[in-house]
Amino acid sequence: MSKKKLKLDLRVLAPLSILVLVVVLFTILTKGALLSAYNLQNILNQTIPTIIAGMGMIFVISMGGTDISHGSLVALSGGLAVIAATKLSSALLFPVAILVGAASGTFVGFVNTKFKVPSFMITLSMNIALRALVNVIIGAQTFQMPKSSRVLINSIPFKLIAIIVLLVIITYIFNYTRFGLYVKSIGENENAVRYAGIKVNKVKIFAFVISGIMASIAGIFTVARVGGVNNTLASSFEMRIMMALFVAGVPVKGGLESKLYKLFIGAPLITILESGMVLCGVSGSLTQAVRGLVLICAVYLTRYMSNNFSEINDKNNILDSNEAVAE
């Protein structure tokens, strides 16, 4: 039992220690500027959309799928929501975005389950196609979000309340419902779930819908932060979300090891890393390279730790079962 505890701790410890290391390193390098009130707010602003979208994407990742449609989806749903808000009513911001996200998720899930197209392929196509749609609708213009809603959504209390509400809902769905169990089980062995008589396709479509909805909500926060929508908004946003998940040890093949708390290590980690390097005056392209490097290191470290320690655990278990048989 104590070994099990130890193993779990190490799996959390690996990404957590990287986070601490990055914070300490850049606090020293920036002579404390990293932790200034202004910068912390900045970090929070940038982390929140990643966390929100990550809370949706984890459903798809945990069943062994990928959803890389997010960047374009954020631009499209954000764009349509802002247009609806300016033309009709600000109250339509979230409903319109959620509707667009749900529609996109349903489509992805439907094609994925009915025509057996791998989720990577569909969402790649979606990413390209939705971006084209954004270009058609928005073109070279920039749509401004109405000032009143921008101020409201950008306020720290609103953000914190939103994130707490979403976190409660998502934690409930992911950890405390049978749907959550099914999603993760699909990542472990899809056939086992199908042979247990569970409607796998329904579960999958629903997972993509949640992913789409959360991406769109994240989109509103992104738009509120930058002020408006243009046709390049949130490009490669999806990579950022995936990085936040993988860097903190969510398994690429999904399964029951996909844990929500990891997102809360991964998302701040990449934002702080970027912010720290900007403050240090590192060039943009170099920042990208370092991001990539950190991802590799983190994934390797988590794998190394979990492999080594789970092996010890498994060996012990085998011995135990042998002993049990021998009794």
Torsional class of 114: left (φ above 0), alpha (ψ -120 to 50), beta (otherwise): alpha
273 Cβ contact list (under 8 Å, min separation 6):
22, 26, 290, 291, 294
Q: Which stretch binds another protein (CB under 8 A): 142-150, 177-185, 230-238, 293-301?
A: 177-185
Binding to another protein (CB under 8 A): which residues in 96-115? none
User: Using the rule CB under 8 A, is 141 a contact of another protein?
Assistant: no
Cα-based angle 28, 33, 38 (whole degrees, multiple of 5): 150
Nearest approach, Cβ of residue 303 and another protein (Å): 14
Total residues interacting with another protein, rule: CB under 8 A: 40
Stretch binding another protein (CB under 8 A), from 31-39, 195-203, 209-217, 292-300: 195-203
Distance CA(180)–CA(171), nearest Å, equals: 9
- The minimum distance between CB 47 and another protein, in angstroms, equals 29
Nearer to another protein, 4 or 147 (CB): 4
Cα 248 to Cα 58: distance, rounded to the nearest angstrom: 12
Residue 228 has phi, psi (to 5 degrees) of -165, -175
Question: Binding another protein by CB under 8 A: which of 143, 174, 182, 246?
Answer: 182
Q: Which of 180, 219, 249, 268: binder of another protein (CB under 8 A)?
A: 180
Can you read off the two tokens belonging to residue 160? 């914190």
Minimum gap (Å) between residue 170 Cβ and another protein: 14
Q: Which residue in 106, 108, 142, 132 sits closest to 122, CA to CA?
A: 108
Segment near another protein (CB under 8 A); pick from 146-154, 182-190, 214-222, 288-296: 182-190
Residue 303-322 contact track with another protein, rule CB under 8 A, x = bound: -------x--xxxxxxxxxx
> Which residues, in sequence order, are CB contacts of 31 under 8 Å at separation 6+?
none
Site string for another protein, 216-255 (x = CB under 8 A): ---------------------------------------x
Query: x-or-dash pattern for another protein, window 147-176, by CB under 8 A?
Result: -------------------------x---x
Query: Using an 8 Å Cβ cutoff, are 74 and 234 in contact?
Result: yes
Nearer to another protein, 35 or 195 (CB): 195
Q: Nearer Cβ to another protein, position 125 or 201?
A: 201
67: left (phi over 0), alpha (psi -120 to 50) or beta: beta
4 touches another protein by CB under 8 A = yes
Separation between Cα atoms, residue 45 and residue 27, nearest integer Å: 19
Binding another protein (rule: CB under 8 A), the pick from 256, 286, 289, 297 is 256
Decide: 229 and 143 in contact? Cβ < 8 Å. yes
Residues 6+ positions from 262 with CB-CB distance below 8 Å: 15, 245, 248, 249, 250
Q: Is 5 in the site for another protein (CB under 8 A)?
A: no
Name the one residue in this structure whose structure tokens are 């926060």: 221
Provide the minimum distance between the beta carbon of 2 and another protein in the complex, in angstroms, as a whole number. Answer: 12
Quick one: 161 or 318, whose CB is closer to another protein? 318
Four-residue CA torsion sign, 295, 301, 307, 310: negative
Query: CA–CA separation, 276 vs 23, rounded Å?
Result: 8
Residue ranges that bind another protein, judged by CB under 8 A? 1, 4, 172, 176-182, 185, 188-189, 191-199, 255-256, 310, 313-327
